[in-house]
């Protein structure tokens, strides 16, 4: 195990509870917090369900599940979750104002050496950490969905992020069985900047009637050996998340490559957000 004995995760949605699951499974004490008690309760049930599936697949034992769940606590306040935390990861929606406020509160609740990380996929870390008194301990720690399956963690070094902070979070991520890359703090970093281009172009092709969603995805899966096509992946990530990232990159880079297609906006307005709502570019009712 890394030097992180206790992890606090702020935000119990898809990414937050996924991070909590892999950290608890790896032997870390995890304190998960969310402002919505219903989301928090659902997250704990989802984590327990993930362990049940792992047992069914022979990837975990009942004893390992029980030990991991004993290491997981849930809290309705950040103050309770941050007590004794060595590392805090925020996994709240992609809004700069919200992330800045969360970071400022985390700093006020933490020890001087506690590392503050953001799971943002597009917002510059230096902007999120701009109000901190000790920005050297702020860093991007970008996990991918679904967290238990995806092997990569993108470590984003802000302008003032210290070498020690980068070393510590890489060690932590690798203790979870992940592979890390380190990138400079630019909008979209490496992964979102590349992935969003492919996803948005696939949506434009669908909008223009070039091919069906299934055939566009099949082209990338079989022609380029991608494990999942860009439209199915967008459904998994969430169309609202994809739209938010595209808007952030379009505003930051001024490049029409990142301008969200009308079809993406229409689907988000209609509440068709992908797997989490049962409908996106595909129908997911049988898989929710």
3-class DSSP state for residue 79?
Answer: helix
**Does 282 fall in a domain?**
no
Structure tokens at 92: 């709240």
Residues 117 and 237 placed together within one structural domain of the fold: no
50-97: pLDDT as tens digits: 999 999 999 999 999 999 999 999 999 999 999 999 999 999 998 999
The last residue of one of the domains, among 153, 184, 215, is 184
Mean pLDDT computed over every residue of the chain: 95
220 close to 230: Cβ distance less than 8 angstroms:
yes
**Does 1 fall in a domain?**
no
Structure tokens at 71: 């290491």
Quote the pTM value: 0.87
**Does 283 fall in a domain?**
no
**Does 203 fall in a domain?**
yes
More confident residue, 1 or 145: 145
Provide the 10 A C-beta neighbour count for residue 242.
28
Provide the 10 A C-beta neighbour count for residue 186.
13
168-196: pLDDT as tens digits: 999 999 999 999 999 999 988 999 899 99
Residues 52 and 88 placed together within one structural domain of the fold: yes
Rounded distance between C-alpha atoms, residue 195 and residue 82, angstroms: 33
110-141: pLDDT as tens digits: 999 999 999 998 899 999 999 899 999 999 99
Among 65, 72, 80, 57, CA closest to 19? 72
Residues 45 and 178 placed together within one structural domain of the fold: yes
Pairing mode of beta strands 152-157, 179-184: parallel
Q: Which domain holds residue 254?
A: 192-277
**Does 286 fall in a domain?**
no
Rounded distance between C-alpha atoms, residue 230 and residue 251, angstroms: 22
Residues 224 and 252 placed together within one structural domain of the fold: yes
Residue 116 φ/ψ, nearest 5 degrees: -115, 115
């Amino acid at each position: 195990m890394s030097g992180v004995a206790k992890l606090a995760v702020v935000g119990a949605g898809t990414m937050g509870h996924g991070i909590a699951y892999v950290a608890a499974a790896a032997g870390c004490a995890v304190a998960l917090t969310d402002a919505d008690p219903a989301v928090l309760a659902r997250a704990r049930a989802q984590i327990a369900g993930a362990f049940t599936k792992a047992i069914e697949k022979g990837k975990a034992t009942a004893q390992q599940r029980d030990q991991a769940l004993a290491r997981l606590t849930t809290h309705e306040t950040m103050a309770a979750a941050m007590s004794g935390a060595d590392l805090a990861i925020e996994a709240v929606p992609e809004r700069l104002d919200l992330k800045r406020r969360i970071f400022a509160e985390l700093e006020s609740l933490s020890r001087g050496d506690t590392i503050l990380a953001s799971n943002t996929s597009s917002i510059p870390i230096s902007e999120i950490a701009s109000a901190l008194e000790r920005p050297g301990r702020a860093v991007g720690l970008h996990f991918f969905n679904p967290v238990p399956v995806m092997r990569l963690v993108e470590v984003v070094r802000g302008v003032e992020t210290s070498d020690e902070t980068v070393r510590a979070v890489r060690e932590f991520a690798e203790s979870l069985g992940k592979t890390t890359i380190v990138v400079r703090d630019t909008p979209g970093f490496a992964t979102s900047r590349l992935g969003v281009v492919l996803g948005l172009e696939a949506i434009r092709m669908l909008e223009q009637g070039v091919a069906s969603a299934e055939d566009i995805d099949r082209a990338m899966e079989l022609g380029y050996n991608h494990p999942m096509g860009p439209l199915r992946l967008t459904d998994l990530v969430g169309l609202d998340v994809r739209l938010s990232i595209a808007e952030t990159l379009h505003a930051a880079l001024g490049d029409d490559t990142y301008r969200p297609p009308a079809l993406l906006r229409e689907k988000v307005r209609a509440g068709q957000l992908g797997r989490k709502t049962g409908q996106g570019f595909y129908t997911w009712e049988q898989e929710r």
